[in-house]
Amino acid sequence: MDRYKKLSKYLKEKYHARVHKLPLSAGFTCPNRDGKISKGGCIFCDPTGSGFATLGSNVPIQEQVIKMIERAEKRFKAKKFIAYFQAFSNTYASPEKLEKIYESALIDPRIVGLDVSTRPDLLQEEVLDVLEKFKKKVNLTVEVGLQTVNYKTLKILNRGHTLAEFVDAVNRLKKRNFDVVAHVIVNLPWDDIEDVVETAKILSALNVDGVKLHSLYVVQNTELAKMFLNGEVSICSIDEYVDRVITFIEYLDPNIIIHRLVADPPKKGTIFGNWNMKKQDIVRIIEEEMEKRDTFQGKKYGYLRR
């Protein structure tokens, strides 16, 4: 029995094939880095804006897509693909430019989906109009960074937005029937287990379609690296991480798809990442612990009066 709703199973059932996401970098930046909101960026944001798995924006998008498909066919025997605009904030441009960029990735009939990752304060109605056009062509998912519902922690992270902007973005996306995935870091050192529970409850109340759980990693040349190296912050143990993930899952609406249980730190420049463990080993530990506790997604989901 699956104790939580896995993305891989969901995609297989939906497309009857192995589906792989193609990480792409379109050369966007972020208002939290270019000075519009702040120059520092989020304290954990690596210099590639989480785009380290991409080929980099100096490679044209079409070439990135072709190469990533070849790689996914070879390594994962994938048959269908999702173009995933991952690096930085992928709605940070004029509607005309956005349309051109998204269109440039849809060059192969086996691309069944478009996945756009962004900040909650970059989803103005004119951006949603562009996304809506693509929703008619392929399955479209909008990934929105939140990290935590604790607004005090959001401030420490220098996110440059509060919970309100996230709630507003999700409400407007859901009004137009977009698929919404929220990014959460479960083990932020300033959050306790109650913040983790509240984050699961608010995401459930907002009816998001998916969640992506990350473990906090520390990368060179970030504000977090300075804080970590001078002892200002420490990262919790793997046992605590496992406990936080399981607690989050227990409070989460059982219909929400879980895209990931733990982050994938960059191969280069990581000062602390995943307790030096392989991602699949952490996933295995979480799943074994769920078995041991005989628990499952939504076990404590009774707080919404539906």
Select the span of 16-24, 27-35, 166-174, 258-266 touching ligand SF4 (CB under 6 A): 27-35
Residues 189 and 216: their CA atoms lie apart, in Å, by: 9
Of the candidates 32, 57, 204, 215, which one interacts with ligand SF4 according to CB under 6 A? Answer: 32
Please, which residue, 145 or 298, has the CB nearer to ligand SF4?
145
- Report the length, in residues, of the chain: 306
Residues 59-88 that bind ligand SF4 (CB under 6 A): 88
Binding-site string for ligand SF4 from residue 39 to residue 58, where x marks contact by CB under 6 A and - marks none: --xx--x---x---------
Please, which residue, 32 or 64, has the CB nearer to ligand SF4?
32
Burial letters 100-128, b for 16+ CB under 10 A, else e: ebbebbbeeeebbbbbbbbbbbbbeeebb
Residues 258 and 219: their CA atoms lie apart, in Å, by: 25
Residues 220 and 52: their CA atoms lie apart, in Å, by: 13
Contact call for residue 30 and ligand SF4 (CB under 6 A): yes
Of the candidates 119, 135, 214, 259, which one interacts with ligand SF4 according to CB under 6 A? Answer: 119
Rg, Å, the chain Cα set: 19
Please, which residue, 35 or 254, has the CB nearer to ligand SF4?
35
Please, which residue, 42 or 105, has the CB nearer to ligand SF4?
42
Binding-site string for ligand SF4 from residue 281 to residue 300, where x marks contact by CB under 6 A and - marks none: --------------------
Of the candidates 3, 33, 214, 259, which one interacts with ligand SF4 according to CB under 6 A? Answer: 33
Please, which residue, 38 or 295, has the CB nearer to ligand SF4?
38
Compute the least distance from the CB of residue 90 to ligand SF4, in Å.
9
Contact call for residue 181 and ligand SF4 (CB under 6 A): no
Compute the least distance from the CB of residue 34 to ligand SF4, in Å.
9
Please, which residue, 49 or 210, has the CB nearer to ligand SF4?
49
Select the span of 7-15, 28-36, 239-247, 256-264 touching ligand SF4 (CB under 6 A): 28-36
Please, which residue, 159 or 244, has the CB nearer to ligand SF4?
159
Q: Which residue, 239, 214, 305, 226, is CA-closest to 271? A: 226
Select the span of 30-38, 96-104, 165-173, 250-258 touching ligand SF4 (CB under 6 A): 30-38
Residues 302 and 173: their CA atoms lie apart, in Å, by: 25
Compute the least distance from the CB of residue 108 to ligand SF4, in Å.
27
- Residues that bind ligand SF4 (rule: CB under 6 A) add up to a total of 11
Compute the least distance from the CB of residue 211 to ligand SF4, in Å.
17
Q: Which residue, 42, 70, 36, 17, is CA-closest to 227? A: 42
- Chain residues binding ligand SF4 by CB under 6 A are 30, 32-33, 41-42, 45, 49, 88-89, 119, 145
